[in-house]
Amino acid sequence: MGWKFWNTGDDTTDAERGTSFHMTVEDVFTITGRGTAVTGAIAAGDVRRGQKILFADASGQPRSTTVTGIEMARALRQEAHAGDKVGLFLKGVTKADVAAGGALGLSRRAATAHR
């Protein structure tokens, strides 16, 4: 008899980690002194602090922004990977600009996938 580790808690495949960043927005918050934060699970790829990403604004047009911070489990991170549930702080974005169900990505296609 011995210990069997059936699930390490990370069901993400190496193939998903190698793809372009994509995340669906679950919720949007405005945090005083920090700005606008969007939460969700990263569906594919990686994202890093300081990286430029795209999202579809309220009118459906792709807009560029910069990730100014990444928070996961109440800890600030420099990067996050596919499968991680995160909060991303976005530069120059207001709560009215992005909505739950919207998408973030590195390409126009990924940023408008769920609109």
Q: What is the pLDDT of residue 112?
A: 67
pLDDT beyond 90 at 78 = yes
| Strands (E) located in 62-108 | 62-72, 75-77, 79-81, 85-90, 103-105
Q: Which of 28, 33, 9, 43 is nearest to 87 (CA)?
A: 28
The domain spans of the chain are: 16-111
Lowest mean pLDDT among 22-31, 50-59, 83-92, 106-115: 106-115
Whether pTM exceeds 0.85? no
Architecture of the domain defined by 16-111:
Beta Barrel (2.40)
Question: What average pLDDT does range 45-56 have in this prediction?
Answer: 94
Q: Pick the more confident residue, 28 or 112.
A: 28
Distance CA 47, CA 45 (A): 7
Q: What is the pLDDT of residue 110?
A: 67
